[in-house]
Structure formats: C-alpha cells, structure tokens
C-alpha cells in the first residue's frame, strides 16, 4: 500500500460540500412537517336555556349593574296553609291596580325590567274544597339610577289627586306610610258599598288594600282583591308584603 494519499479531485470536493447542505434542508423540512396547526376554538351546538325568570319589559338599562330579568324567586310564595293554588305568571298590565287613572304605571321611566305574578289564597283553617278568599297580584319593577324613588314620589302625588273614584259605585281611597318595610312603603285602602252576587247592595262596606314597597332599586306593588268583589284580607296582605320584601332583598344580594 502506498504511504501517500492522492489529492481529492474537483468532483469529490463538490460532493463533500453538498452533503451538509442537503442535511440542513432535510432537517428543516422534517421540523416543519411535524408542527401541529393551531386548534380552532370549539363551537357549541347545544341550545342555550333561558333563565328561570319572567320576561322583562321596558327599555334596556344603560347601567351594567342593573338586573336584566326578574327571576321567579324574587316573587313571594304563600305558605302552604294559605295557598289555594300555585302562583302563576300574569301580565303587568293586568296585575297593576287602577284608581282614577293609571296611577301605578311607570311610563317606562328608568325601568330596566318588570314582571308580575298572582297568588290565590284561602284561610288557614278552611278546607281546600272551599272557594278562595281572594287573590294578590304582585308586580315587581327594577329601575336604573334614582328611578325607584322617583316612582314612589310620582305615585304619592297621583294618589293624593284621587281621593274617590267610580267603579260600579263610589270608591274611597285612603293612604298611609308604612314603617319598617323595605326602604319606604305605602299602604292604600279602598272602601266601597258591598254588593251581593245578585248585584244588590247589602248595606255594608267592603274594602281591599294595595301595598307598595321599595327595596333599593326595585319596587313591588301588591294588589289584594277579595274573591268576586268581596273584601280582601289585610292580615294576609301584610304578611305577603313582608315576605315579598324579604324575597326581593335576597334576590338583590
């Protein structure tokens, strides 16, 4: 064997220079091929369920903190011994009382949501087969800003302008401020000549009450109506009002 190495030819030198370059290209290609594309954001196809609440009415609130709906849990539920039938959703227009005019309407001033429900009650010691004692229509409004306080101010003025009105006979309206109920509260008593189912006057007076309470930026109106034009029950209304205020306070927490 010769002790001397032959010098590389020009072709060999070109091949030697090309091998590292091809290795670099292959490595880069391999890295690119194994990189996963970014995952697309998952798209849910399940339908969204509506919240367990009544449908709000009125204009949308500019305040992000104001509730957009009024849940069923914000409404009062009668205790079992007084409950003639379960509460049911009612339109606000049907639930709000009317005296001389639409005193309890809001005119949509600063209203963020409104809803109403009706409870039918009986006396605790009466059998369930008896006719109901009466119904209480409850309306709840939520307001933006100082709308709740402004509503009570307008309502007081409207009530003062309507001491009496006609509704199948003269109806007298008296109002007083309630203390210890919500942030502010008002109680109205309506009195009229009682009539029998035949339409004849009995010679006695019948009465029913309307209670209004503000709890922070919400207002509830409870209209107690005795069954088929008879008197309402002030004791049951008072309990319903206080329970209703607690329910609204719990909802707002």
Q: What pTM does this model have?
A: 0.73
The predicted-structure confidence for 148-157, as pLDDT tens digits, reads as follows: 999 999 999 9
Rounded distance between C-alpha atoms, residue 56 and residue 70, angstroms:
7
The low-confidence residues of the chain, meaning pLDDT below 50, are 1-67
Determine if residue 151 is left, alpha or beta; phi over 0 gives left, psi from -120 to 50 gives alpha, anything else beta: alpha
Which domains does the chain carry?
A: 83-252 (3.40.1000)
75 within 8 A of 139, measured Cβ to Cβ = no
Rounded distance between C-alpha atoms, residue 226 and residue 236, angstroms:
11
Tokens of 96: 């709000």
3-state secondary structure of 134: strand
> What's residue 41's pLDDT?
35
Name 118's Cβ contacts closer than 8 Å, sequence gap at least 6.
87, 88, 90, 95, 135, 136, 137, 138
* DSSP assignment string, 71-110: EGGGS----GGGEEEEEEEE-HHHHS--SSS-TT--TTTT
> What's residue 13's pLDDT?
43
41 within 8 A of 218, measured Cβ to Cβ = no
> What's residue 253's pLDDT?
85
> What's residue 149's pLDDT?
97
Helix (H) or strand (E) holding 174: strand 170-178
The predicted-structure confidence for 27-56, as pLDDT tens digits, reads as follows: 333 333 333 333 333 333 333 333 334 444
> What's residue 98's pLDDT?
95
> What's residue 128's pLDDT?
81
CB count in 10 Å sphere of residue 90: 19
Rounded distance between C-alpha atoms, residue 210 and residue 154, angstroms:
16
> What's residue 169's pLDDT?
87
């Amino acid at each position: 064997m010769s002790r001397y190495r032959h010098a590389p030819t020009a072709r060999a030198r070109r091949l030697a220079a090309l091998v590292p370059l091809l290795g670099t290209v292959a490595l880069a290609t391999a890295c690119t091929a194994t990189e996963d594309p970014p995952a697309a954001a998952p798209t849910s196809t399940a339908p969204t369920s509506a919240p367990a609440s009544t449908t709000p009415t009125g204009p949308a609130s500019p305040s992000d903190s104001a509730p957009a709906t009024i849940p069923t849990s914000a409404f009062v539920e009668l205790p079992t011994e007084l409950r003639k039938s379960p509460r049911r959703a009612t339109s606000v227009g049907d639930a709000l009382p009317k005296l001389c005019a639409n005193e309890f309407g809001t005119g949509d001033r600063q209203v963020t949501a409104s809803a109403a429900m009706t409870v039918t009650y009986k006396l605790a010691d009466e059998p369930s087969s008896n006719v109901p004692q009466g119904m209480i229509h409850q309306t709840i409004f939520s307001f933006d800003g100082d709308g709740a306080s402004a509503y009570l101010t307008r309502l007081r003025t409207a009530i003062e302008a309507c001491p009496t009105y006609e509704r199948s006979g003269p109806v007298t309206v008296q109002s007083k401020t309630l203390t210890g109920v919500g942030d502010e509260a008002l109680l109205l008593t309506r009195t009229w000549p009682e009539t029998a189912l035949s339409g004849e006057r009995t010679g006695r007076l019948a009465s029913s009450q309307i209670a209004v309470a503000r709890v922070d930026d919400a207002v509830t109106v409870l209209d107690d109506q005795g069954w088929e034009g008879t008197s309402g029950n002030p004791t049951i209304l008072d309990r319903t009002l206080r329970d209703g205020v607690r329910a609204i306070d719990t909802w707002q927490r």
